[in-house]
């Protein structure tokens, strides 16, 4: 038992876990901003084009919503496989962390779009009315009213997104993406190295908990600054 | 300066369709409002007051009839022109609708940012308006730190920022206590005098109308039941709504002053 815990922090484990951690961090740090950008754009367009939105476009809204739901409904493993040719086209290879970023973005953008949409919907209708009554354009209403007003809720959803990204990198790991997920499967599952599996899980746990704490703090601080709590 | 604002509402109807049922909210409203007036519109809940005021600033388009405000023919404006037109119409809300993400200063600066004014202009105007409504000392506060009365002052400042020619007030004092409510009404009267602004005041409180307005109209089930000077209507109410309102007020007052109590 004691030996097991010593092995958990041995040189061998570190040599395997450290590069994998860096790969995971690379994938998450690159995929997050891209996903946030597309999520904000897609989520806002879903809100704007809704039948009660600022610029109703029924057919566009339904089609776009259906596409997003379709990607959401597909198991993430399938989406990753489907994204392989695209990755090959964009970054030249279909394996490794760089290729994985593309698959991650495709898997997570629909999730985040829906999260953004629901954050924006939480903003009271009266504020939209006020902005409209002052002659603000749809663009101004989104950029200057809805997103800033929804920011505390958006930050919480950023955290959900980043945690989802971390967990999807683990799945992508089984398709040669590298990172902690791959280590867990390769060593922990195929070679029965429970110590390495546990070490990988511990690192993932620290990442997730750290992010959650950071997000909660930021969101709370913002609410406090605005004197809403 | 804009052309003399003069509001002319001709035979305006508004029908909403919801769940395949038609709701006729306005049924041919005719109303003229002179520039510089403080005009009260009273009526019971659901009489169509809010819909009427929303038709005036184009938040709602009339189903039929026409509305002219100054040189603007509201139902003929393009989407872009509606936004330009709205920048000249201030609106104050019952629940203030301030932006929590912005300070008092930022809230009042918002309509000026929308109108693409430069920074110096914005700063000068915002401080001037905050002085006028008497909350310049709170300029760096967030709405969450203010009382109801202070919030409504910010709401009024925000509505006035971009030199509007008309101020629409949708139950702006209904969420405030009587004393605060009176001070907000005093502020509106003061603004009317100082800036020569036309104010349209929607309310279900006769006290508000009596205290603030010169002329008034009574809205009943989507039509104007009567209109005229506040004095005329209070002395000789014709419509059902006005009679009920005035009688109810008198009843409460009598009961109180006779010492019998209401119960």
Query: Over the stretch B155-178, which tens digit does the pLDDT of each residue have?
Result: 999 999 999 999 999 999 988 898
C-alpha dihedral sign at B249, B253, B255, B261: positive
Confidence of residue B236 (pLDDT cuts 50, 70, 90): confident
Residue in chain B closest to A136 (alpha carbons) equals: B114
Is pLDDT above 60 for B118?
Answer: yes
pLDDT band at B1 (very low <50, low <70, confident <90, very high): very low
Average pLDDT over residues B52-78: 89
- Which residues have a Cβ under 8 Å from the Cβ of A58 and sit 6 or more positions away? A49, A51
- Which of A43, A67, A138 lies closest to A59 in space, CA to CA? A67
Q: Is the pLDDT of residue B144 over 70?
A: yes
Cβ of A133 and B59 within 8 Å? yes
User: What pairs with residue B91 in β-bridges?
Assistant: B168
Q: Which two tokens stand for residue A168?
A: 């999807």
| Percentage above 90 pLDDT, chain B | 59
On average, the pLDDT of chain B sits at 89
Nearest to A227 among B83, B87, B145 (CB): B145
| pLDDT score for A29 | 93
Q: State the nearest Cα–Cα gap between B6 and chain A, in angstroms.
A: 19
Within 10 Å of residue A197's Cβ, how many Cβ atoms?
A: 18
pLDDT at residue B3 in the model: 45
Residues of A in contact with B99 (CB under 8 A): 127, 130, 145, 148-149
**Tokens of residue B74, six digits:** 């509201």
Q: Which residues of B touch A142 (CB under 8 A)?
A: none
Nearest to B217 by CA among B206, B232, B227, B207: B227
Rg over CA atoms, chain B: 19
Q: How many CA atoms are closer than 13 Å to the CA of A223, on its beta-carbon side?
A: 14
Which pair of structure tokens corresponds to residue B186?
Answer: 């005093």
- B89-92: strand order across its sheet: B89-92, B166-170, B198-203, B38-42, B215-220, B223-229
What is the structure's pLDDT at B151? 95
Taking Cα atoms as reference points, which of B54, B136, B152, B42 lies closest to residue B94?
A: B152
Task: Give the separation between CA A141 and CA A124, rounded to whole angstroms.
Answer: 13
Best of B18, B101, B155 to mutate (most A CBs within 10 Å, chain A): B101
Q: Are the CB atoms for A69 and A129 separated by under 8 Å?
A: no
CA distance B63 to B55: 10
C-alpha A102/C-alpha A168 separation (Å) is: 12
Out of B59, B100, B142, the one facing A132 most closely (by C-beta) is B59
Residues in chain A predicted with pLDDT less than 50, given as ranges, are none
Contact B229, B215 (CB under 8 A): yes
User: How far, in Å, CA of B191 to CA of B185, rounded?
Assistant: 10
ipTM of the complex, rounded to two decimals: 0.87
pLDDT at B217 over 80: yes
What is the DSSP code (8-state) at residue A51? Answer: T
Is residue B4's pLDDT more than 60? no
pLDDT score at B2 = 46
Rounded average pLDDT over B73-89: 89
Where does residue B193 rank: exposed (0-12), middle (13-18), buried (19+ CB within 10 A)?
exposed
The residue with tokens 């022109």 is: B81
Strand segments, DSSP code E, in chain A are none
List the single best residue of A133, A138, A155 to mutate versus B (max B Cβ within 10 A): A133
Query: How far B41 CA lies from chain A's nearest CA (Å)?
Result: 19
Q: Which residues of A touch B160 (CB under 8 A)?
A: none
Q: What is the pLDDT of residues A135-190, one digit of tens each?
A: 999 999 999 999 999 999 999 999 999 999 998 988 888 888 888 888 888 888 88
pLDDT at A99: 86
Q: Residues in chain A, how many?
A: 229
The count of CB pairs under 8 A between chains A and B is 71
Task: List the one residue out of B126, B120, B121, B80 whose CA is nearest residue B103.
Answer: B126
Which residues lie across from B27 on neighbouring strands? B13
Domains of chain A: 2-228 (1.10.3720.10)
Would the CB atoms of A227 and B142 count as touching at under 8 Å?
yes
Say what the pLDDT of residue B259 is. Answer: 64
DSSP string for chain B: -PPPP-EEEEEEEEEEEETTEEEEEEEEEEEEE-TT-EEEEE--TTSSHHHHHHHHTTSS--SEEEEEETTEEGGG--HHHHHHHHTTEEEE-TT----TTS-HHHHHHHHHHHTT--HHHHHHHHHHHHHHHT-GGGTT--GGGS-HHHHHHHHHHHHHTT--SEEEEESTTTTS-HHHHHHHHHHHHHHHHHH--EEEEEES-HHHHHHH-SEEEEEETTEEEEEEEHHHHHHS--SHHHHHHHHHHHHHHHHHHTTS---
DSSP A189: I
Rounded to an integer, what distance in angstroms lies between the CA atom of residue A28 and that of residue B146?
Answer: 41
- Please say if the pLDDT value at position B206 is more than 80: yes
Sheet with strand B64-69: strands edge to edge = B21-33, B7-18, B64-69, B72-73
Interface membership of B114 toward A (CB under 8 Å): yes
| Interface residue of A127, A135, A143, A225 to substitute, partner B, most B CBs within 10 Å | A135
Nearest chain B CA: its distance from A210 CA (Å) = 26
Residue B158: list chain A partners with CB under 8 A: 130, 134
| Stretch B15-24: mean pLDDT | 86
Q: Is the pLDDT of residue B143 over 90?
A: yes
* Whether B86 and A135 lie within 8 Å, measured CB to CB: yes
Find the CB nearest A127 among B85, B97, B144.
B97
């Amino acid at each position: 038992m004691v030996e097991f815990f010593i092995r958990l922090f041995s040189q061998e484990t570190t040599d395997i876990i450290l590069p994998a951690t860096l790969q995971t961090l690379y994938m998450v740090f690159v995929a997050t901003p891209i996903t946030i950008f597309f999520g904000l754009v897609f989520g806002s367009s879903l809100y704007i084009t809704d039948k009660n939105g600022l610029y109703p476009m029924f057919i566009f809204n339904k089609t776009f919503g259906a596409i997003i739901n379709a990607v959401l409904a597909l198991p993430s493993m399938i989406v990753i496989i489907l994204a392989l040719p695209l990755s090959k086209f964009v970054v030249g290879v279909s394996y490794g962390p760089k290729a994985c970023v593309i698959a991650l973005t495709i898997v997570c953008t629909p999730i985040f779009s829906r999260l953004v949409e629901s954050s924006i919907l939480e903003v009271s209708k009266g504020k939209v009315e006020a902005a409209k009554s002052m002659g603000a354009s749809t663009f101004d209403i989104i950029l200057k009213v809805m997103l800033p007003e929804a920011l505390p809720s958006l930050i919480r959803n950023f955290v959900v997104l980043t945690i989802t990204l971390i967990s999807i990198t683990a799945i992508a790991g089984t398709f040669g993406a590298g990172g902690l997920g791959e280590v867990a499967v390769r060593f922990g599952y195929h070679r029965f190295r429970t110590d390495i599996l546990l070490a990988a899980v511990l690192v993932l746990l620290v990442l997730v908990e750290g992010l959650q704490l950071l997000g909660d703090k930021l969101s709370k601080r913002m609410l406090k600054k605005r004197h809403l709590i | 300066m804009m052309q003399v604002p003069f509001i002319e509402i001709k035979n305006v109807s508004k029908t909403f369709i919801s769940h395949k049922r038609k709701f006729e909210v306005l049924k041919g409203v005719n109303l003229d409002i002179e520039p510089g007036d403080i005009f009260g519109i009273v009526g019971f809940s659901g009489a169509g007051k809010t819909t009427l005021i929303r038709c005036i600033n184009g938040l709602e388009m009339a189903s039929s009839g026409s509305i002219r405000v100054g040189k603007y023919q509201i139902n003929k404006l393009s989407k872009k022109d509606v936004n330009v037109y709205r920048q000249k119409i201030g609106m104050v809300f019952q629940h203030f609708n301030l932006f929590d993400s912005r300070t008092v200063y930022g809230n009042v600066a918002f309509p000026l940012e929308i109108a693409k004014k430069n920074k110096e202009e914005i700063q000068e105007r915002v401080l001037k308006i905050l002085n006028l409504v008497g909350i310049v000392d709170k300029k760096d506060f967030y709405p969450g730190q203010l009382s109801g009365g202070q919030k409504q002052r910010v709401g009024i400042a925000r509505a006035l920022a971009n030199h509007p020619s008309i101020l629409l007030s949708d139950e702006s004092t209904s969420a405030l206590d009587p004393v605060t409510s009176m001070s907000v009404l005093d502020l509106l009267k003061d603004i009317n005098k100082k800036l020569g602004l036309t104010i349209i005041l929607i309310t279900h409180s006769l006290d508000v109308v009596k205290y603030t307005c010169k002329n008034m109209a009574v809205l009943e089930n989507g039509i104007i039941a009567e209109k005229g000077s506040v004095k005329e209507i209070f002395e000789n109410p014709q419509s059902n709504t006005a009679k009920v309102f005035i009688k109810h007020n008198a009843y409460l007052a009598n009961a109180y002053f006779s010492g019998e109590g209401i119960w």
